[in-house]
Structure 1
């Protein structure tokens, strides 16, 4: 029996790849006002961005423990080995909750192999990881072999380079001060950030989105490896035009041919806002 790959909605995988690789997606929760929505089930990215542009505030919370346990038990009852790849523990408590629930389920089903992995990543940073794991699973690799592959590649070499269109959303999440957000918005300053050890870290500030795209490609050149052949991820906050510009710049610079382009989903988008542009690739 092949290993089942599970991840969650913040991985921002396109529906066609979820279907192609038979990946199970557990939803995080988006909260607006007094209403709670399952990400990708009750609310989708475009609905979120429309609400944010109209002044709504959004928060998020973890996968409900009962929903997570139900998923783990379902596969355990089938004797199905599985790997759950979780949103970074530096961003969410989902990994810690999953580890506790996995241990509870493992006590009841001690002969079923279950793995919970802290991706140390967000969005397609671990969406690409799930694709790679699913490809290995479809080729009959064991859970241990898949876990080892992820440990030596994606878990240690995944780069996230991204920018946001409006610093206000990062300010709401406590990532920048209110004063910095105001000044940045007035001057059209775009922060360039990355993820380091699973946490959000600023790199620099640049004025103007076109310059940001160029800088993202420059950083990719400095840090990337095998850029012509690896699978590259690009996500955007309802701004496909910028995503396509970034793709074209990467193709021109490196001859890259393999891309996954998708919207930043409602979970991550609640914190990054419309106009986000993110790039994911493997480094040296």
Structure 2
């Protein structure tokens, strides 16, 4: 059976990695001011950071059911017999709803996976599905691999301000911190699909140091190999420093450092640092 893996651009997959693993990425829409852009095509994270700093309105939109349907039908036309579609948490985005609607409109089976996670954690889950397929798993086994990768993942998020999450409606249980946002630097995570406070730290330097420690502690719980990645928005020097610290403590030669995608960047804001780990 020929099975395709699909995800959305919030998964933050490098285009070369997606192509190598045979993963099709459906782009989200980003609106800056009155202009509409397509993530991964004509909008950059730096454009998002510049707009947010200049108080230009920035918003995002999920792929439409018609977009998903078009992607699914195009894959079917190439001989694909089934699709595993792996996406960002249903509790922060309507992407899953659009994928499910599209799945009901196409002739081949589409299994839609709600990772209850976001960013690289979704990307790692899609990668797990692709590796399972290449190792001979059937679609049910691919779904199980994606779900296990998503469950094992931890997203550790440092943001300069909660304001952008609040504006975008993605703040989840972290809303409880709004009143104390000026006196603490929260470390956030994704828990049960929602943005959730993990720890409250008094200074930025202590929060970033704690980010490293928490990532190391999480990796220690994995029995085998793992994925790890660092993302930032307009904070490259700090992200590189975090990578150096993690390499030293984990005994790794290198850890990938990238800017967050435009869609996620619009919700977390400039200065963000994210560390994501996931068991392989």
SS for the counterpart of 2:6 is strand
Q: Which residue of 2 aligns with 1:237?
A: 233
Q: How big is the shift at 1:168?
A: 2.3
The answer to whether the aligner puts 1:5 opposite 2:2 as a matched pair is no
Deviations, residues 41-87 of structure 1 (Å, cap 9, x unaligned): 23121221122222212111110222111001112233302211111
Q: Which residue of 2 aligns with 1:198?
A: 193
User: Which range moved further: 263-272 or 15-24?
Assistant: 15-24
Alpha-carbon distance between aligned partners in 2 of 1:73 and 1:258, rounded to the nearest angstrom: 39
Q: Which residue of 2 aligns with 1:48?
A: 48
Q: Is the 8 A contact 1:30 1:59 kept in 2?
A: yes
Q: Which residue of 2 aligns with 1:101?
A: 102
The alignment's TM-score, normalised by the length of structure 1, stands at 0.87
SS for the counterpart of 2:226 is coil
Alpha-carbon distance between aligned partners in 2 of 1:82 and 1:69, rounded to the nearest angstrom: 12
Q: Which residue of 1 aligns with 2:34?
A: 34
Q: Is the 8 A contact 2:247 2:254 kept in 1?
A: no
Q: Count residues with an aligned counterpart.
A: 274
SS for the counterpart of 1:104 is coil
Deviations, residues 5-63 of structure 1 (Å, cap 9, x unaligned): 11111111122212322321111111223322211123121221122222212111110
Question: What does 1:163-178 correspond to in 2, within 5 Å?
Answer: 163-174=158-169, 175=171
Q: How big is the shift at 1:257?
A: 4.8
TM-aligned CA distance change 1:179 to 1:131, over 3 Å: closer
Q: Which residue of 2 aligns with 1:275?
A: 271
1:136 equivalent among 125, 132, 138: 132
Q: How big is the shift at 1:258?
A: 6.4
SS for the counterpart of 2:43 is coil
User: Which range moved further: 136-145 or 26-35?
Assistant: 136-145
SS for the counterpart of 2:104 is helix
1:210 equivalent among 177, 192, 205: 205
The alignment's TM-score, normalised by the length of structure 2, stands at 0.88
The answer to whether the aligner puts 1:92 opposite 2:98 as a matched pair is no
Q: Is the 8 A contact 1:60 1:270 kept in 2?
A: yes
Q: Is the 8 A contact 1:14 1:262 kept in 2?
A: no
SS for the counterpart of 2:181 is helix
User: Which range moved further: 69-78 or 87-96?
Assistant: 69-78
Q: How big is the shift at 1:177?
A: 6.3
Alpha-carbon distance between aligned partners in 1 of 2:153 and 2:42, rounded to the nearest angstrom: 30
Deviations, residues 206-226 of structure 1 (Å, cap 9, x unaligned): 233321221112223443323
TM-aligned CA distance change 1:235 to 1:76, over 3 Å: same
Q: How big is the shift at 1:172?
A: 1.8
